[in-house]
A and B are shown apart, each in its own frame.
Chain A
Amino acid sequence: QTVLVASDTHPDGYPTVEAVKYFGQLVSERTAGRYSVDVKFGAQLGQEADTVEQVRAGAIAINRTSLGPWNGLVKQTIVPSLPYIFKSTAHARSVMSGPVGDEILAAFEPYGVIGLAFYDGGARSFYTSEKQITSVADLKGMKLRTMQSDIFVDMMAAFGATATPMPYGEVYSAIETGVVDGAENNFPSYDTAKHSEVAKFYTLDEHLIVPEVLVISKMVWDGISPEDQAVIRQAAKDSVAKQYELWDAKVAESRKIVEGSGSTIVEVADKQAFVDAVKPVYDKYAADPELKALIEKIQAAE
């Protein structure tokens, strides 16, 4: 009778939270109740960077985060975080649930956690208040709020735009008042954070299709019998399809809402131009031969 405490920073009901709950349900059923999962959602146990340290130290058993907070630790996680690394959501899913995904999961182990599975964190695109982005040239000189990550800063520099970091809670009024020209995120966040109220142009450039990762603390893992370990691994893999299904429904719902409330979805005419523009970002990270090999594997995969 062991309760595994899990953290997820999204609110209750969010696809990742529901997927972790589903995973817990499977674990509980298949271990005849020897293990269960208590999901602490809504960043109750801290922001992602905090929970990464907690799961490494064994303070929590299971953690679901984006790859961002792992970038500075597990260098292999940088590759799926690169802009335009995946051709499409389908490509991303097939790569991350295949052998390349398993290779990246295995890279977590030296850092005190066992990688269990990758979820879909959605495709992130730019949205702006005044000027539509239809080409790379439109991005030049724009001030856009991005996540606090080196890859983002490098990508924005490559576009000739300015990455403007600021707390998430300030983004809405920063767009409204023009402190920034816009921001970038996936459809559900664009909708739920209400940024669609102030930034009407959503450009479908999909610069980032970023997987999310489910890990278990190695300290906890080592105390689990090999049979139960296998059950937990399989349950995690089995929760992935469920997460995809929930995620797709969420994206469709959010997209419908923002379109209904008057957002313009802008298609980019020449996506290859965006891909070409971020080449300097690849040059920087592909300097590492291991990462270079990984990049090539992903690009070669179907």
Chain B
Amino acid sequence: MTAARPRLRKLGRALSALSTAALYLAGFFLVLMTLFVGWQVFTRYVLNWSNAWTEPAAVFLMSWFIFLGSAVGIRENYHLGFDVLLYVLPRSGKKYLRTISDLVVLAFALGMVVYGMQLVLLSWAARMPTLGIPEGAKYISVVAGGALIVIFALERLVLRWSGVDIDADVNLDLDAVPDAGTVKEV
């Protein structure tokens, strides 16, 4: 990172903040999901009445949690891959394969934004049972997650072609997250 130009470093800091915010929001949703399901059990068993909203609300939060966490995973490079070819290829070849991978991720994320938006519009008129909010709201997480992945995939492409070695190893603050389920590639 130190070799990079100052403007890149500034961008990196901004995106770090974005990524951390996304991670903390996902964590907050996980805690909220736990509370919802706990509340569901508590009210049914202890107070003897049931909430109809807890289940759909927890599921609703889960997709936000997954897409936010997945976007952070692109930046921190912890998604699972099956990289047979990378063992045999020389270093320079690896750079091209990684670029293709990031372009593939970018394409899919653009699809999430564009077609996620179509889904939001298509089903906005319908009401979700129990929660009463527009059915289309459940796809906003697809759009938001897609947008974050677009940003982080672009960052990787820019960094790599500016000469920053982002493929060497997992780019993680391991001290801050010692038990994170991070997966090293290669």
> In the complex, which residues of chain B have a beta carbon less than 8 angstroms from the beta carbon of A141?
48
Alpha-carbon gap, A166 to B58, bound state (A):
12
A72 touches B55 (CB 8 A): no
Query: Interface digits, A131-163 against B, CB 8 Å rule (1 contact, 0 not)?
Result: 000000000010100001110010000000011
Interface residues of B, count at CB 8 A = 19
When A and B form their complex, what is the total count of cross-chain residue pairs whose Cβ atoms lie within 8 Å? 49
- Dominant SS at the B interface? loop
> In the complex, which residues of chain A have a beta carbon less than 8 angstroms from the beta carbon of B130?
148-150, 153, 165
Is B52 in contact with chain A by the CB < 8 A criterion? yes
B44 touches A143 (CB 8 A): yes
> In the complex, which residues of chain B have a beta carbon less than 8 angstroms from the beta carbon of A73?
125-127, 135
Interface residues of A, count at CB 8 A = 21
Is B114 in contact with chain A by the CB < 8 A criterion? no
CB proximity of B49 to chain A, nearest CB, Å: 5
Chain A residue at minimal CB-CB distance from B56: A148
Is A259 in contact with chain B by the CB < 8 A criterion? no
| Contact status of A162 and B122, CB under 8 A, knowing A72-B135, A149-B129 | no
B123 touches A148 (CB 8 A): no
Chain A residue at minimal CB-CB distance from B43: A162
Option from B44, B119, B129 in Cβ contact (under 8 Å) with A71: B129
| Contact status of A57 and B135, CB under 8 A, knowing A148-B55, A164-B44, A164-B50 | no
Alpha-carbon gap, A183 to B55, bound state (A):
17
Alpha-carbon gap, A179 to B48, bound state (A):
11
CB proximity of B114 to chain A, nearest CB, Å: 14
Is A53 in contact with chain B by the CB < 8 A criterion? yes
23 A-B contacts (beta carbon < 8 Å): A53-B119, A56-B122, A57-B118, A57-B122, A68-B129, A72-B126, A72-B127, A73-B125, A111-B125, A143-B44, A148-B52, A148-B129, A148-B130, A149-B129, A149-B130, A150-B129, A153-B130, A162-B44, A162-B50, A165-B50, A165-B130, A166-B55, A179-B44
B residues whose Cβ falls under 8 Å from a Cβ of A? 44, 48-50, 52, 55-56, 118-119, 122-123, 125-130, 132, 135
A residues whose Cβ falls under 8 Å from a Cβ of B? 49, 53, 56-57, 68, 71-73, 111, 141, 143, 148-150, 153, 162-166, 179
